[in-house]
Structure 1
C-alpha cells in the first residue's frame, strides 16, 4: 500500500493531528486477559462422579442370588435333596384316619338368654322346694304338739254320737263361735288347733253332719244361696278358703298360720254363700 502512496492508519488515530511519521509510531501494548474458568473440565468431573455413584447404587441393589458362584466350589454343589427334587414328582402319603378325625367344639361357650332364664327358674324351684320342706317340718312339729295337747272327742266320734241332734243355723254358729282364740294349725281339726275346713268339719260333726276336710268338698255339699239371704251359720266360700257367715258382712274362720280363730269383715267380693242341711 505504501507503494501506491496510501498510508494505513490504525484505528483510533487521526492523521491530521498526528504529525509524527507513521513509520515511527509503535504499536500499543497488549491488554492482559483474565483467565476463564474451565467449563469443560468441570463438566467432565460431574459426569465421572455421577457414573461412579450410579454404579455403587446398582451394586448395592443387586440381590444376593445375582452373584453366580463358581460351579466348582463344594458348598454350591448339588446335594441329595436337590438331586431328589430334580429327579421327578414327589408324593405325600396321608393316613386314612385323617378323614375320620372329628372336630370337637371349643370348650368356651356363650350362655344364651334361654339358658339364663332356665337357670333362674331352677333356682326359684329349688328355693320353693326348700321353703315347702321347711313348712312340712313345721306342720309335722305342730301336729305332734297338737295331737299330744288334745284328749277330747274327735269329729269321727261326734258323728257316731252327735252332741246336738237338731240342726239349725243359729245353733251351728253358736257352737262355732266358742272356738274363737284357737290357734291355726295346718291340717288341724280339733280344739287343739284348726285350719279353715277343719273348723267347719268339726262343728258340723257335732250335729251329725259329715263333711270332708276340704273347702271345695264342703262347698259342694250344700246349696248355694244369694248373698243377700245369708244368715249366721251359712258358709262363706272363697277360692281356697271357707268359714262361717257371722252376719253384717263378717266371717268367722281360721285364717292362716300364726293367727287364731276370729271374726272379721269379709275383705273381698269374690265369694258366695252355701247353706248346709236346711
Structure 2
C-alpha cells in the first residue's frame, strides 16, 4: 500500500517539478534550467480568436497527442501576433532601413526601445519576439539581413573574443541569443512569460558574434 501511494504521489507532480538530467552541464544555473522548463511547458494562454484557430487546426488534422497540439497552439499564436501587428516588418526595414549607416552604439539604442515587449514563440515584431526574432528585427533597421534562427545568426557573423566585444554585438549561447550591453549583460527576449529586458549573462557557455561591420 505504501508503494502504491508513492507511485500516485510521483504521478501527481507537475512537469516543472521533474529534476534536470543527471548529465546536465555543471555550469548550468537555476535560471537556465527554469528557461528549459518554461520552454518545454505544455500550457499556453490563448485568446478566444486564437482558440478558434487551434480548434480548426486540430479538427483538420485530427491531432490528439500533446506535442502536435502544442505545435498547433504555437502556430495559432504566431499567426495572431502577425495579424495584430500593423507596423513595419523585417522585410520593410530591409527594403528601406531607417538607419542606413551601421553603428553598434545605435544598435544598443534601438534594442533598448523594445524593453517590455513580451516573448512570443516565432515572433519577429514588437507584437512579440522570440530571441532570434528580436535580434533580427533590431539589425534589420540597419539594413542587415539575418536569418530567424540562433544558429543562422551565429553563422552570419564573425566570432570575436570576449575581450574585443562591444555593446551592440550579438551574444550566442546554445539555443539562445541576445544583444550585448557590456559589463557581462545583454538584452534578450528570454522565454514564455518573459519580456525583453537587460540582464546578466547567466552562463559561461557563450560567445560573441559581430555582424554589420
| TM-score strictly above 0.5 | yes
Match of residue 169 from structure 2: 234
What SS does the corresponding residue of 1:213 show, helix, strand or coil?
coil
Provide, for residues 211-247 of structure 1, a one-character-per-residue CA deviation record: whole Å limited to 9, x for no partner. Answer: 1111111111111111122111000000111110011
Matched, 1:257 2:195: no
In the alignment, structure 1 segments of 5+ residues that lack a partner are 1-127
Match of residue 196 from structure 1: 131
Match of residue 73 from structure 2: 138
Q: Distance in 2 between matches of 1:152 and 1:201?
A: 15
Q: Distance in 2 between matches of 1:191 and 1:132?
A: 27
* Number of residue pairs aligned between Structure 1 and Structure 2: 151
Q: Distance in 2 between matches of 1:199 and 1:275?
A: 16
Provide, for residues 233-278 of structure 1, a one-character-per-residue CA deviation record: whole Å limited to 9, x for no partner. Answer: 0000001111100111011001111111111111100001111122
What SS does the corresponding residue of 1:173 show, helix, strand or coil?
helix
Q: Distance in 2 between matches of 1:176 and 1:134?
A: 33
User: Could you tell me which of 238, 247, 262 is aligned with 2:182?
Assistant: 247
Provide, for residues 168-217 of structure 1, a one-character-per-residue CA deviation record: whole Å limited to 9, x for no partner. Answer: 10101111111111111111101101001101111111111111111111
Match of residue 154 from structure 1: 89
Q: Distance in 1 between matches of 2:183 and 2:67?
A: 37
Match of residue 206 from structure 2: 271
Q: 1:145, CA displacement in angstroms?
A: 2.5
Q: Distance in 1 between matches of 2:124 and 2:166?
A: 24
What SS does the corresponding residue of 2:106 show, helix, strand or coil?
helix
Provide, for residues 8-30 of structure 1, a one-character-per-residue CA deviation record: whole Å limited to 9, x for no partner. Answer: xxxxxxxxxxxxxxxxxxxxxxx
Provide, for residues 151-177 of structure 1, a one-character-per-residue CA deviation record: whole Å limited to 9, x for no partner. Answer: 011100111101101001010111111
Query: How much is the aligned-residue C-alpha RMSD, in angstroms?
Result: 1.5
Q: Distance in 2 between matches of 1:153 and 1:141?
A: 21
Q: Distance in 2 between matches of 1:255 and 1:131?
A: 23
- The one of the two structures with greater contact order (alpha-carbon pairs below 8 A, sep at least 6) is 2
In the alignment, structure 2 segments of 5+ residues that lack a partner are 1-41, 43-63
Matched, 1:213 2:148: yes
Q: Distance in 2 between matches of 1:141 and 1:221?
A: 29
